[in-house]
């Protein structure tokens, strides 16, 4: 991790492209409509969804935003009309009697002209009467088209089929678009998160071609499918991680066969829904019959609906400037409580549950803001919650729903944009939503539908599988699983304007990944048995490494004593650890290839973990069928992975006596001394969190409380915000990384005393860049060392709010205090 040039004075006030991201061309959505990514590709991409909506009689709301890219000619109004409108209203605008009204004689001026524009943007639902004839078919929204495109289409209609004297202008469309958006303000009262994907409405099909079903049976089966099956088979049943379940294939299989597979599962990884008692026999029968009927058309979720869901319970002006409690925020742990839609905050010092916070159904992933003040929690129901850790007790201050099903969210990590933005990604609808970091106000929505990078097959449901914030550029990396693209999503002030989103071809079936030890590369396993590598600094795809990583987890990175910098992952379907070299500069012979395959205890792994201050690598196996492995965790000597492992009986240490007691996700404390593990049980059996000493591998504590209900994920706040990234690829202390992790929160990114924690401090912070200037031009090295270390001088010299870093960093390898002293020397400036 590197800090920006201290001489750089960027404070997010400019509108020019950032010098760190010269490829990004910032555009104006009104004036630069032509700068869009292949207009025809965007139109074709959404034509399938639009057609499906028309056939089903449903509106198909999609994004208000357009995607800028290469220069395209001005759209032809007639061509746009024929592509999007003529199917219903006919090529000559005559319509279809009783179904779709004629477009002749539309109002050319005044309020009715504005209504026509707004109707095209937002669609129409309900009864409509034209010249005494009633029409009830809904009109889909066309807000996904750009202002210039819509203006051209409307101009064609008004001048070709009507008597308009002037065409519709881009400015008119833009004005009505903004009026619609402003009509959806943020409510001020908090509400409970909406229902999960099983509650998502959809059209119904009960046809004579499939087995007999009543409408009520179909609806019940649909809810079962949405609640249990979409994660692998997709909302549209096209198949994502699992096989396609299209009606023609399902009818060939037949009800009896389908019931058997659903009941007993398969060797490919499908759960045995019947034998595990997750589904009753009646539900399995309903599901088997349901799959032989056409796929119901699910609704989309456009920017209007996202904005309608936005809840701002506590505005930033009403939040405290400093923590209102005595907890060490970096030592707080977060457990996601799947079945009750909450997170539990746990004090890492006294190991007690502080409180539980409602965050929406099935919380899945947690991200922390760069300052550590905010948590961003996304549930599988698409609800993003903002938790303020300064409050006493910490509480949710805002929420928004970005889709019906989602998995991932990340907070901006660039030093110039700490706490400024968050990006959330949805499975359905497949889209990205940029959010304000302090309020969760939705700023921009981008659909991910498109063509696969391999084979160029159009995919209607390419899910957002992972989002990571680049530490080197002000942008997010976002993986689109099924199409094999990684979006480089830049952020800057005024994000309501359009910016260029670059796409990298990074391989299909992308899962979630993690950074290399130096933060330069991002490595991601794919279900195509390869590991994708992105150079975050150069903003380009590096390679795809052949490896057995189907079902692989995000992995972890560290400096191996013999092999150098490596990235390690495990998988759900194999017992092996896969070790890949990540240093093409100093270890070119080992870079970007599998250098070790190490046999682990069993398959069924979800996480591996290590820490710069640790000698161990931890591997869980909660999905394994044998209790010996699912109830324990394997610990390796990370510098001798092939020497075997020690299997720790974590479930037994928990004190729980009943239930499956599956052990999930080893999570380190920021100093690397402790490893926390969730012990999952169903609601009626009780769960726990076990704390283990990383050096002795002995239990420290078992946290059991009624508050801990089905913990499925476990995070440490300090680790989330990168406080542990204090060593470079050589294993020696990295001064800039140490400063960023431990000092910048108060002293600011450039040492100017303007960090986000500054208002909470009682001491006055001096500008660290002028230490030499205040000492007649000589860097006061001894004085700086004594103040930073603090063990011998803090009580005498103060400042009283400053930690004693000599003690706090005692376990960091090498000489961390010297690294900080030398870093402060490098930022000195001459007045």
Distance separating alpha carbons of residues 332 and 728, to the nearest angstrom? 25
Distance separating alpha carbons of residues 189 and 193, to the nearest angstrom? 13
Find out if CATH 1.10.760.10 is the number for domain 39-182.
yes
* Tokens found for residue 344: 């539990």
**pLDDT tens track for 502-539:** 899 998 889 999 999 888 899 999 988 999 999 998 99
Question: According to the model, what pLDDT value does residue 749 have?
Answer: 62
3-state secondary structure of 762: coil
Residue that wins the pLDDT comparison between 235 and 367: 367
For residues 314-332, give the mean pLDDT.
94
Structure confidence at residue 70 as a pLDDT band (50, 70, 90): very low
For residues 23-47, give the mean pLDDT.
32
Q: Residue 588, exposed/middle/buried by CB under 10 A (0-12, 13-18, 19+)? A: exposed
For residues 167-180, give the mean pLDDT.
82
Cα angle 510, 504, 569; round to 5:
35
616: pLDDT strictly greater than 60: yes
End-to-end alpha carbon distance in the chain? 28
3-state secondary structure of 312: strand
**pLDDT tens track for 370-385:** 888 999 999 999 999 9
* Tokens found for residue 600: 């682990």
- DSSP states of 664-683 as a string? EEEEE-TTSSEEEEEEE--T
Other beta carbons within 10 Å of 136: 11
Q: Is residue 558 a contact partner of residue 608, using CB atoms and an 8 Å limit? A: no
* Tokens found for residue 326: 């005595």
Q: Considering only CA atoms, give the Rg of the chain.
A: 28
Report DSSP state, residue 122.
H
Q: Is residue 257 a contact partner of residue 229, using CB atoms and an 8 Å limit? A: no
- Measuring CA to CA, which residue among 744, 812, 708, 80 is closest to residue 336? 708
User: Would you say the C-alpha torsion 45, 51, 52, 53 has a positive or negative sign?
Assistant: positive
11: pLDDT strictly greater than 60: no
Residue that wins the pLDDT comparison between 766 and 5: 766
Distance separating alpha carbons of residues 35 and 148, to the nearest angstrom? 11
248: pLDDT strictly greater than 70: yes
Q: What is the pTM of this model?
A: 0.67
474: pLDDT strictly greater than 50: yes
Helix ranges (DSSP H) in 583-647:
627-630
4: pLDDT strictly greater than 50: no
Structure confidence at residue 23 as a pLDDT band (50, 70, 90): very low
Question: According to the model, what pLDDT value does residue 619 have?
Answer: 98
Structure confidence at residue 26 as a pLDDT band (50, 70, 90): very low
Question: According to the model, what pLDDT value does residue 20 have?
Answer: 30
* Tokens found for residue 42: 């965007």
Cα angle 103, 104, 107; round to 5:
90
Question: According to the model, what pLDDT value does residue 268 have?
Answer: 56
Percent of the chain with pLDDT over 90: 42
Other beta carbons within 10 Å of 817: 22
Cα angle 307, 26, 446; round to 5:
35
Q: Is residue 723 a contact partner of residue 805, using CB atoms and an 8 Å limit? A: no
User: Would you say the C-alpha torsion 519, 482, 65, 299 has a positive or negative sign?
Assistant: negative
Q: Is residue 490 a contact partner of residue 527, using CB atoms and an 8 Å limit? A: no
**pLDDT tens track for 679-731:** 999 888 899 999 999 999 999 999 999 889 999 999 999 999 874 343 333 44
Residue 173 φ then ψ, to 5°: -65, -45
The fold adopted by the segment(s) 204-290 is Cytochrome Bc1 Complex; Chain D, domain 2 (1.10.760)
126: pLDDT strictly greater than 80: no
Residue 67 φ then ψ, to 5°: -105, 110
78: pLDDT strictly greater than 90: no
664 beta partners: 678
Distance separating alpha carbons of residues 55 and 588, to the nearest angstrom? 56
What residues does each domain of the chain span? Answer: 39-182, 204-290, 735-826
Distance separating alpha carbons of residues 140 and 123, to the nearest angstrom? 5
Residue that wins the pLDDT comparison between 301 and 744: 301
The answer to whether domain 39-182 and domain 204-290 are alike in fold is yes
Q: Is residue 693 a contact partner of residue 677, using CB atoms and an 8 Å limit? A: no
- Measuring CA to CA, which residue among 631, 661, 654, 735 is closest to residue 702? 654
């Amino acid at each position: 991790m590197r800090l920006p040039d201290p001489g750089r004075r960027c404070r997010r006030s400019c509108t020019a492209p950032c010098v760190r991201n010269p490829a990004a061309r910032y555009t104006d959505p009104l004036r630069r409509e032509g700068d869009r990514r292949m207009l025809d590709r965007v139109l074709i991409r959404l034509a399938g969804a639009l057609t499906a909506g028309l056939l089903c009689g449903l509106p198909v709301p999609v994004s208000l935003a357009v995607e800028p890219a290469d220069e395209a000619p001005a759209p032809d109004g007639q061509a746009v009309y024929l592509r999007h409108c003529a199917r219903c209203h006919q090529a000559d605008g005559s319509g279809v009697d009783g179904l779709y009204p004629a477009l002749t004689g539309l109002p050319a001026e005044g309020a009715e002209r504005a209504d026509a524009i707004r109707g095209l943007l937002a669609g129409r639902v309900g009864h409509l009467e034209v010249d005494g004839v009633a029409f009830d078919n809904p009109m889909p929204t066309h807000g996904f088209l750009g202002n210039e495109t819509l203006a051209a289409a409307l101009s064609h209609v008004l001048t070709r089929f009507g008597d308009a004297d002037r065409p519709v202008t881009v400015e008119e469309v833009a004005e009505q678009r903004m009026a619609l958006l402003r009509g959806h303000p943020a409510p001020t009262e908090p509400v409970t998160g909406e229902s999960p994907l099983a509650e998502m409405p959809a059209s119904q099909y009960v046809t004579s071609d499939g087995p007999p079903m009543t409408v009520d049976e179909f609806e019940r089966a649909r809810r079962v499918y949405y609640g249990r099956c979409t994660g692998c088979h997709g909302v549209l049943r096209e198949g994502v991680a699992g096989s396609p379940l299209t009606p023609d294939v399902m009818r060939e299989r037949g009800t009896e066969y389908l019931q058997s597979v659903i009941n007993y599962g398969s060797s490919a990884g499908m759960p045995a829904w019947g034998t595990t008692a997750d589904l009753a026999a009646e539900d399995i029968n309903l599901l088997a019959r349901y799959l032989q009927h056409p796929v119901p058309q699910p609704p989309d979720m456009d920017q209007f609906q996202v904005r309608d869901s936005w809840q701002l319970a506590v505005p930033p002006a009403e939040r405290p400037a400093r923590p209102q409690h005595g907890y060490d925020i970096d030592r707080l742990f977060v457990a996601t409580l799947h079945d009750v839609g909450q997170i539990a905050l746990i004090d890492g010092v006294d190991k007690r549950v502080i409180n539980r916070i409602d965050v929406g159904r099935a919380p899945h992933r947690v991200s922390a803001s760069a300052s550590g003040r905010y948590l961003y929690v996304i549930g599988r129901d698409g609800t993003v919650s903002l938790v303020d850790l300064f409050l006493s007790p910490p509480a949710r201050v805002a929420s928004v729903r970005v889709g019906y099903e989602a998995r991932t969210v990340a907070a901006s990590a660039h030093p110039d944009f700490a706490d400024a933005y968050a990006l959330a990604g949805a499975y359905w609808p497949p889209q990205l939503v940029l959010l304000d970091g302090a309020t969760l106000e939705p700023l921009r929505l981008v659909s991910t539908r498109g063509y696969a990078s391999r084979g160029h097959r159009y995919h209607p449901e390419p899910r957002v599988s992972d989002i990571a914030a680049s530490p080197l550029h002000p942008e997010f990396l976002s993986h689109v699983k099924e199409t094999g693209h990684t979006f480089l999503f830049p952020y800057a002030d005024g994000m309501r304007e359009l910016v260029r989103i670059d796409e990298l071809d990074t391989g299909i079936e992308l899962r979630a990944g993690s950074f290399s030890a130096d933060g330069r590369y991002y490595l991601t396993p794919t279900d195509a048995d390869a590991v994708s590598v992105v150079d975050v600094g150069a903003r380009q795809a590096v390679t795809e490494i052949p490896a057995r990583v189907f079902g692989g987890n995000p992995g972890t990175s560290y400096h191996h004593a013999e092999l150098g910098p490596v990235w390690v992952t495990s998988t759900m379907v194999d017992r092996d650890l896969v070790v890949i070299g990540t240093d093409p500069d100093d270890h070119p012979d080992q870079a970007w290839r599998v250098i070790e395959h190490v046999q682990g205890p069993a398959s069924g792994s979800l996480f591996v973990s290590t820490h710069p201050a640790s000698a161990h690598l931890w591997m869980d196996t909660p999905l394994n069928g044998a209790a010996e492995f699912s109830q324990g965790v394997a610990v390796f000597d990370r510098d001798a992975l092939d020497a075997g492992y020690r299997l720790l009986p974590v479930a037994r240490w928990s004190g729980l006596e009943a239930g499956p007691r599956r052990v999930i996700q080893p999570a380190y404390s920021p100093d690397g001394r402790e490893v926390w593990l969730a012990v999952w049980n169903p609601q009626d059996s009780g769960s726990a969190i076990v704390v283990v000493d990383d050096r002795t591998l002995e239990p420290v504590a078992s946290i059991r409380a009624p508050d801990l209900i089905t913990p499925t994920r476990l995070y440490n706040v300090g680790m989330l915000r990168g406080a542990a990234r204090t060593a470079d690829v050589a294993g020696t202390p990295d001064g800039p990384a140490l400063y960023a992790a431990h000092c910048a929160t108060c002293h600011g990114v450039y040492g100017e005393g303007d960090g986000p924690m500054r208002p909470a401090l009682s001491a006055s912070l001096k500008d660290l860049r002028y230490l030499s200037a205040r000492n007649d031009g000589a860097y006061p090295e001894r004085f700086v060392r004594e103040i930073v270390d603090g063990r011998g001088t803090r009580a005498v010299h103060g400042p009283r709010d400053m930690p004693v870093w000599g003690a706090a960093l005692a376990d960091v390898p090498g000489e961390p205090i010297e690294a900080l002293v030398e870093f402060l020397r490098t930022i000195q400036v001459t007045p």
